[in-house]
Chains A and B, each alone.
Chain A
Amino acid sequence: MTNAAEFRTCPITGKKVFKTTQNLMWINAVTAVVFILIGGIMALLVALTRWPAVHLLPADLFYRFLTAHGLNMLIFWIVFFEIAGLYFGSSVLLNVRLATPKLAWLAYLLMLVGAVMVDIMVFTGRADVMFTSYVPLMAHPLYYLGIILFAVGALIGCGIFFATWAIARAEKTYEGSVPLVTFGLTAAAIIAVFTLSAGAIIYIPTFLWSLGIIKNLDAAMYRLIFWGLGHSSQQINVTAMVSIWYLLGALTVGAKPVNEKICRTAFVLYILFINLASEHHLLTDPTLSSAHKIANTSYFMYLAVLASMIHALAIPMALEVAQRKNGYTKGLFEWFTKAPWGQPGFPALIFSLFIFGFIGGITGVAYGTEQLAIKSHNTWAMTGHFHGTVVGGTTLAFMGLTYYVIPLIFRRELIGKKLATIQPYIFGIGIVLMSLGMGAAGTLGSPRRHWDVTFAVSIIPFSFDPTVILFTTVAAIGAMLAVTGGAIYVLVSVLSVFFGRKMAANEAKII
């Protein structure tokens, strides 16, 4: 049994890394990688089905595996990784032991049991309801129970983060305000509590409905409250991703924000307003007034968009200032061209930043406009948007961070450093092609969540303009590249964590 007070001192940062924290980070991060593997296999199969030239799966398996892909990626991979991140942001960065490690293990077990239950229900065909599980589509009760257990576990993890923060404050293990990365993760944890509370409000009645205890659930009301969970969970990802950007900037080029006050203000704007973006899922729904739609998505949400603009400029600015201090002052972009592109962290950071901002961000803010939503709703353009944000943005940032967490926290040397270095390029280029292909096809009308856009076996025949098929093929090729990049990530991570050379206690090597 690990002594809760047992720690080692990081030879690079001088921070205390408690054994309990390290173990809990390890188990959550390794589990995250298992789920990205499942989600990635599903991605391959779904992409090969949407690719008209291949059209691999039959219809029922397409929708089943699409459900599995959504859940394993959007929820299980990302949240397990974020819980590891929360423990890092509190215990390691604040130099304090983790509060209630036993409860943290219980949280992990609840999340694992919940996730496994959900996957079993989905793969055995008892929950072909897609990630959104909109009523009146009904899944097996154990599907809903699995999600509830997972959410409770994640909520406990957030609680442990706050408790650790409180202990650090009481024991004065840090001076002044918490570090910016911890502050960003705090914002993510606060958003997470709202998210999971909305999840409880909607999934508990839905669970009871699946058992026949509640007779009717209003579909419109379900959508309203579901998206309080569904989109807010993506905002946790955004906030965590931005925190990781600051961390990666510091790790790769020694970047520090030019004005930290503004960066913290941006995180506070996230806390206050980012959850209001959930309304954009309801823009084409009847009944809700334009006032509700516009107030949420076109007024308050723009304050969160302002926050994203702040981060989008603050981070490159910090990188540029650091690089110019490092001596790269020639012209406008020497700081950029002479950056450490040969290390995995920097390309992961840059790809993540640019894909999230240029592709995910621009499309998201535009499509979230009350009037423009009607044109993009339920088209593949939506899918292009959120693969830009959550895959090109959040997932790629997490991948880049993994290559530092393995040597710094898990004290294993990376196996396959060359692979780790090219992985962000392969994944990033794949996601760019995929998102742009999806966006273009969707703009021309190609639907999302659709098994066959050639309508070959439809009773009412329809054919899109051939350019839709062209862009669909571009998206599929991008998906193949992205899946390859994902597979390399899983390979390097698993090999390194289990078989990487154990680093000596005083070995001050990063990559």
Chain B
Amino acid sequence: MAEEKHDSFPAPGTFVIGMVFFTLFVLFYFLNWKWLSMIWIVG
């Protein structure tokens, strides 16, 4: 299968979408850990 060769990153828009996705992922993980810590006191 012939593959595309690019001089610069070929999909800058997708990169931005990817970063938004990653940020939301981190935020969701953080929130869920925070909420868990609020209802399950350890120690």
Are the chains A and B members of one assembly? yes
Report which A residues bind B (CB closer than 8 A): 176-177, 256, 258-261, 312-313, 316-317, 319-321, 324, 332-333, 335-336, 357-358, 362-363, 365-367, 369, 371-372, 374-376, 443
Q: Contact: A332 with B21, CB < 8 Å?
A: no
Max chain A Cβ within 10 angstroms of own Cβ: one of B1, B11, B18, B39: B11
- In the bound assembly, the distance between CA atoms of A332 and B21 in angstroms comes to 16
A-B contact pairs, 16 of them (CB 8 A): A176-B1, A258-B4, A258-B6, A259-B3, A260-B3, A317-B10, A320-B11, A324-B10, A332-B16, A333-B13, A358-B21, A362-B24, A362-B25, A366-B29, A372-B32, A376-B32
Q: List residues of B (6-43) whose CB comes within 8 Å of A's CBs.
A: 6, 10-14, 16-18, 21, 24-25, 28-29, 32-33, 35-36, 39-40
B side interface size, CB within 8 A: 23
- In the bound assembly, the distance between CA atoms of A372 and B11 in angstroms comes to 34
Main secondary structure of the interface of B (DSSP, over half): helix
Query: For residue B28, which residues in chain A have a CB less than 8 angstroms away from its CB?
Result: 362-363, 366
Known contacts A324-B11, A362-B25; 20 further A-B pairs (Cβ under 8 A)? A260-B3, A312-B18, A313-B18, A316-B13, A317-B14, A320-B10, A321-B4, A332-B13, A333-B13, A358-B21, A362-B28, A363-B28, A365-B25, A369-B29, A371-B33, A372-B33, A374-B36, A375-B39, A376-B32, A443-B35
- In the bound assembly, the distance between CA atoms of A332 and B17 in angstroms comes to 10
Q: Contact: A321 with B10, CB < 8 Å?
A: yes
With CB as the reference atom, state the residue of chain A lying closest to B4.
Answer: A258
Query: For residue A177, which residues in chain B have a CB less than 8 angstroms away from its CB?
Result: 1
- In the bound assembly, the distance between CA atoms of A312 and B3 in angstroms comes to 19
- In the bound assembly, the distance between CA atoms of A332 and B9 in angstroms comes to 12
- In the bound assembly, the distance between CA atoms of A110 and B4 in angstroms comes to 46
Residue in contact with A258 in the complex, picked from B11, B17, B18, CB distance below 8 Å: B11
- In the bound assembly, the distance between CA atoms of A177 and B3 in angstroms comes to 15
Q: Contact: B18 with A332, CB < 8 Å?
A: no
Max chain A Cβ within 10 angstroms of own Cβ: one of B14, B24, B33, B35: B14
Q: Contact: B3 with A258, CB < 8 Å?
A: yes
- In the bound assembly, the distance between CA atoms of A49 and B43 in angstroms comes to 42
Max chain A Cβ within 10 angstroms of own Cβ: one of B13, B18, B24, B32: B13
Q: Contact: B21 with A320, CB < 8 Å?
A: no
**Distance from B31 Cβ to chain A, minimum over Cβ atoms (Å):** 9
- In the bound assembly, the distance between CA atoms of A375 and B12 in angstroms comes to 37
- In the bound assembly, the distance between CA atoms of A324 and B12 in angstroms comes to 11
- In the bound assembly, the distance between CA atoms of A318 and B24 in angstroms comes to 23
- In the bound assembly, the distance between CA atoms of A366 and B35 in angstroms comes to 13
Query: For residue A376, which residues in chain B have a CB less than 8 angstroms away from its CB?
Result: 32
- In the bound assembly, the distance between CA atoms of A319 and B18 in angstroms comes to 14
With A372-B33, A375-B39 given, is the CB distance from A317 to B24 under 8 Å? Answer: no
With A258-B10, A332-B13, A332-B16 given, is the CB distance from A371 to B1 under 8 Å? Answer: no
Across the A-B interface, the 5 shortest Cβ-Cβ residue pairs: A320-B11, A317-B11, A316-B14, A332-B13, A317-B14
- In the bound assembly, the distance between CA atoms of A321 and B11 in angstroms comes to 6
